[in-house]
Amino acid sequence: NPEKWDSVIRKSRFSTIFATYDVLNLLTHNANWNALILDDYLYVLPLPVRSKLKVPYIYSPFFLSQLGIFSEKEITGQITSDFFNAIPKKYFQVDLLLNTEMDYSSIEDFTISLISHKLQLSTSYEELQKHYNKNTQRNLKSSQHVPVITTDDRDIVAETIHLFVSNKGKEKNVHFKDKDYQILKQTAKYFQKNNLLETYGAYVEGKLIASALFVKDFDRYWFWFSGRDNNYAAY
């Protein structure tokens, strides 16, 4: 039930647009995901699925924030244990980015901790800038002589992806494939249609040298994706 699904995601302690029904359909490509649901959508756990050598496994799609169990009620260690024990054994591996509202105590031996930064941005830019590290402060000062124009431009999604593919995307530790970039484009189009995407670009002499995509995610913004021309790294 898409309406009930989205309702529990929206009301959950960790509400995120990336776990809503339509966005999960987009990010998993052709809606290739299952779910565990307790009672009448009291708790839900989305399970994106794909296969390797015809063996199915649970994974975290690219370009999302965090998944895991969602509920407006407390997600205790017992709830976490019950849900993960209920995942069908046919899935030989479970690799999920779990949200920060879950109690991990019952599964901590099977998890690793990753860092996600949540920044309070309600103060003025001048006040925020005072807390930048010394290297960032130095870079900002050295780039002040460069005529960089920054603008909000809703039409630079494709250019942002092209910048990434042509620069950062060539590095060996980047594992995106063509179909992943297509999923990114389709999801960005959905976000734009629903006024959930903000895009910003920096130009030098009319040339786009860096750009970023931000997703409005209920009560926060996600720094979602970006691209930069390595030839202008000093800027």
Q: What is the mean pLDDT of the chain?
A: 91
Could you tell me the end-to-end alpha-carbon distance of the chain, in angstroms, rounded to an integer? 49
Contact 225, 27 (CB under 8 A): no
pTM exceeding the 0.75 threshold for the entire prediction? yes
Alpha-carbon distance of 148 to 125, in angstroms, equals 18
Task: Give the type of residue at 29.
Answer: H
* pLDDT band (50, 70, 90) for residue 207: confident
Query: Going by C-beta distance under 8 Å and a sequence separation of 6 or more, which residues neighbour residue 116?
Result: 66, 100
Q: What is the pLDDT of residue 235?
A: 56
Residue 213: left (phi > 0), alpha (psi -120 to 50), or beta?
beta
Contact 163, 208 (CB under 8 A): yes
* pLDDT band (50, 70, 90) for residue 233: low
Burial of 187 (0-12, 13-18, 19+ CB in 10 A): buried
Residue with tokens 């960790």: 14
Tens digits of per-residue pLDDT, 106-155? 998 888 888 888 888 889 989 999 989 999 888 888 777 766 677 777 67
Question: Mean pLDDT throughout 53-67?
Answer: 92
- 3-class secondary structure, 115: coil
Residue with tokens 């998993």: 28
Closest by Cα among 42, 135, 36, 126 to 87:
36
Tens digits of per-residue pLDDT, 74-97? 999 999 999 999 999 999 999 999
Tens digits of per-residue pLDDT, 10-51? 999 999 999 999 999 999 987 799 999 999 999 999 999 999
